[in-house]
Amino acid sequence: MGNVLELNRLTKHFREQVALESLDLTIPEGEFFSLLGPSGCGKTTTLRLIAGFEEPTEGEVWLRGRRLNGLRPYERNVSTVFQSYALFPHLTARENIEFGLRHRAGGWRADAPQRVRAVMEMLQIADKAERKPAQLSGGEKQRVALARSLVVEPDVLLLDEPLSALDPNLRKQVRAELKALQRRVGITFLFITHDQEEALSLSDRIAVLNAGRLEQVGTPQDLYLRPKTRFAAGFLGPVNWINGVGVRPEATRVMHERPSEEVRALPATVENAVFLGNCIHVEARLATGEQVVAEVSRLNGTFRHGEQVHVWWREADELAL
Amino acid sequence: MNRVRAWCLAPTAGVLATLFLIPLAILLGYALLTRGAYGGAFPPWTFENWQRLADPLYLGILGRSVAVALVSTAICLVLGFPLALFIARAGRRKHLYLYLVILPFWTSFLVRTYAWMFLLRDTGLINEALLALGLIEEPLPLLYNYGAVILGLVYGYLPFMVLPLYATLERLDPALLEAAADLGARPWQTLRRVVAPLSMPGIRAGSLLVFIPCLGAYLTPDLLGGGKTILVGTLIQNQFTNARDWPFGAALSLGVMAVVMALLMGLIRRQDEGVL
């Protein structure tokens, strides 16, 4: 399988402001790829450049070997799930889903009603077909938006923080469904998010962006365990920085007695210990003054404020930047 | 609380009752009375004024007035829609453009209509210029015809179309336009399938605000249309002045009102049926 999407030194400036600087990315067919970063990092700009809502200042977008620069959004075979869903309020769910089939190249074919029905059944919204968006719940609107974009069978589906408008309980459920859906339809997903947990749990690969620049691309494991920059390390999860070495809280251990010589260990004072059920969240201050956070199994004993302890970790668990 | 509300509404209710309902009742009374030799309205009671409305002469004038008002409204819509869309998408400059749209209101409508006469008459600016340039041999008949009337009406009432259209278009979520393009719709398809349906409230409001005053217009047809283009506004005015037939003038006024009311009811019913 080849690459479906290629970004080549893609750059976007808004007046004097750099939104995106020379981004190179290659996304193979069928991948669930996430762009992860804080707001203003350039992830939404990247999506808008691919969709054609903005034109790049420099660089190129290639889709299945076709250069997209200069093409209007309706000339590009990508489709977008908008953050606000952007459903047409005057059309029913079914009419919203039919919209793309009526206007895209090829037009309304004989099998169109069948395709609309199939996608509605897949997303379990067949019984909501004749409702207007105002009569749908947040989760239902999201499904209609997904159905509307999927039914046109785009080369790449662009998803602009599609889970952010849902309430937290629903978000986890929809996240799992989204992953299953992507496997089922096999379409390449380009997923925009600022939520590292979402990116880690959904993606085949993730690109971390910061201030318009690419920090690192890799699998979730690569990024979490082998981050190349301090920013990538910190954005994917909390890190204890001890003498310039990064250790994740779950790899940081705390014990009362002195550990063996083979591991790295430092004396510390417990500042706070919170029982969270499945683990104990221990905050300790090292003699050097640095604060360390550890997630310790409750089987390793109890910790109290002011206790002298030893903080230790294995060399293999250090983040090598 | 209800008491406070009642007192707050009292002045408005009072003004409407004295300046609107009572004159309307008087008009209805006049329309059922007989004309006096020097104006006024006197017994006996009669339906004769109403029967005269059915006279083909007057029906023709009413029909022509409706046609002129419809054409003017349609032109306002065709000109106003792109303008309103442009202003709604103009970003920080939209306040300036809105200000320019309502700028003509700063001078009297009468003065502005006279200005059109200076432009359009045989010895007006346009004809003089064309003659001087040798493009025409004789002045073009620009004034005193239906074209001039419609021009004046469109000029005068265009802002009433642009403002409500702007109000609905400005609220239109730009993401909807992007979504339409993203789904393959070309600009005119987006206009037809997304923008136009979603701006129907503005189109309805603007069309009513233009059509109603155009139908009853007196000043513009009288000044720009001259004696050859009698429309219903001029006809009514004539009944109360030269013709000294107040009862028939009253019946005509109420007839025009009936046309407008019927139209309004129809539109309101359609608005209730739609979700928007």
A125's CB contacts (< 8 A; 6+ apart) are A93, A140, A143, A144, A147
Confidence of residue A37 (pLDDT cuts 50, 70, 90): very high
pLDDT at B273: 60
**φ and ψ at A224, to 5 degrees?**
-80, -40
User: Do residue B178 and residue A51 have CB atoms under 8 angstroms apart?
Assistant: yes
Look at residue A172 in the predicted model and tell me its pLDDT: 84
State whether residue A132 sits within 8 Å of chain B by CB: yes
Residue A134: list chain B partners with CB under 8 A.
275
pLDDT at B263: 82
Q: Is A104 touching B (CB cutoff 8 A)?
A: yes
DSSP helix/strand/coil, B13: helix
CA distance A112 to chain B (A): 15
* B264: closest CA of chain A, how far (Å): 23
Which residue in chain A has the smallest CA separation from B196?
A: A90
Strand intervals (E) in B4-44: 34-35, 41-42
Residue ranges of chain B whose pLDDT lies below 50: 275-276
Q: Among A53, A77, A95, A131, which would you mutate to test the B interface (most chain B Cβ atoms within 10 Å of its Cβ)?
A: A53
Q: Are A253 and A304 in contact (CB under 8 A)?
A: no
- Mutate which: B173, B176, B177, B183, vs A, most A CBs within 10 A: B183
Query: What number of C-beta contacts closer than 8 Å exist between A and B?
Result: 68
Q: Per residue in A68-81, pLDDT tens?
A: 999 999 999 999 99
* A148 in B contact zone (CB under 8 Å): yes
Q: How far is B157 from chain A (nearest CA, A)?
A: 29
The answer to whether A155 faces chain B, any CB pair under 8 Å, is no
Residue A262 has pLDDT above 80, yes or no: no
**Binary contact (B198, A104; C-beta < 8 A):** no
- The answer to whether the Cβ–Cβ distance between B182 and A72 falls below 8 Å is no
Q: Calculate what percentage of chain A has a pLDDT beyond 70.
A: 100
CATH classification number, A3-230, choose in 3.30.70.580, 2.60.40.10, 3.40.50.300, 3.40.190.10: 3.40.50.300
- The answer to whether residue B276 neighbours chain A at the CB level (below 8 Å) is yes
- Classify residue A188 by burial, with Cβ atoms within 10 Å: 0-12, 13-18, 19+: buried
What single string gives the DSSP state of each residue in B234-271?
A: HHHHHHHTTT--HHHHHHHHHHHHHHHHHHHHHHHHHH
Rounded mean pLDDT of A131-157?
Answer: 94
Residue A200 pLDDT greater than 60, yes or no: yes
Phi, psi dihedral angles at A277 (to 5 degrees): 95, -80
Say what the pLDDT of residue A202 is.
Answer: 93
CB contact under 8 A, A52 and B181: yes
B-chain residues within 8 Å CB-CB of A68? none
Question: Which tens digits make up the pLDDT trace of B10-56?
Answer: 899 889 888 988 989 988 988 888 887 777 777 888 888 888 888 88
Task: Provide the shortest C-alpha distance from residue A87 to chain B (in Å).
Answer: 7
Helix (H, G, I), strand (E, B) or coil at A187: coil
Phi, psi of A92 (to 5 degrees): -75, 170
Query: How many Cα atoms are found within 13 Å in the side-chain-facing hemisphere of A26?
Result: 5
Quote the pLDDT of residue B276: 39
pLDDT at A114: 92
Give yes or no for a contact between A20 and A45, defined as CB atoms under 8 angstroms apart.
yes
Q: What CATH architecture is B46-271?
A: Orthogonal Bundle (1.10)
For residues B234 and B256, give the distance between their C-alpha atoms in angstroms, rounded to a whole number.
12
CATH number of the structural domain A238-319: 2.40.50.140
Q: Which of A111-120, A187-196, A279-288, B261-270 has the lowest mean pLDDT?
A: B261-270
> Average pLDDT for residues A16-33, to the nearest whole number?
93
Q: What is the CA radius of gyration of chain B?
A: 23
Q: Is B192 on the interface with A (CB under 8 A)?
A: no
Which SS3 state, helix, strand or coil, does residue A125 take? coil
Q: Please list every residue in chain B whose beta carbon sits closer than 8 Å to the beta carbon of residue A106.
A: none
- Does the distance separating the beta carbons of A134 and B179 come in below 8 Å? no
Residues in B 162-181 with any Cβ partner in A closer than 8 A: 173, 175-176, 178-181
| Sheet with A66-67, edge to edge strand ranges | A17-28, A3-14, A58-63, A66-67
B243 Cβ under 8 Å from any chain A Cβ: no
Q: Please write down the HEC assignment for all residues of A205-234.
A: EEEEEECCEEEEEECHHHHHHCCCCHHHHH
Chain A residues touching residue B180 (CB < 8 angstroms):
88, 99, 103
Report how far residue A50's alpha carbon sits from residue A60's, in angstroms, rounded to the nearest whole number.
Answer: 9
| Residue B272 at interface with chain A, using a CB cutoff of 8 Å | no
Put simply, the answer to whether B184 touches A134 (Cβ < 8 Å) is no
Asked if the Cβ–Cβ distance from B184 to A105 is below 8 Å, we say yes
Closest CA to B206 of B107, B85, B59, B105: B85
CA angle centred on B252, ends B246 and B253, rounded to 5°:
90
Residue B178: the pLDDT is 95
| pLDDT, mean of residues A83-103 | 95
**How high is the mean pLDDT of chain A?**
91
Distance CA B233, CA A288 (A): 93
How do the domains of chain A map onto residue ranges?
3-230, 238-319
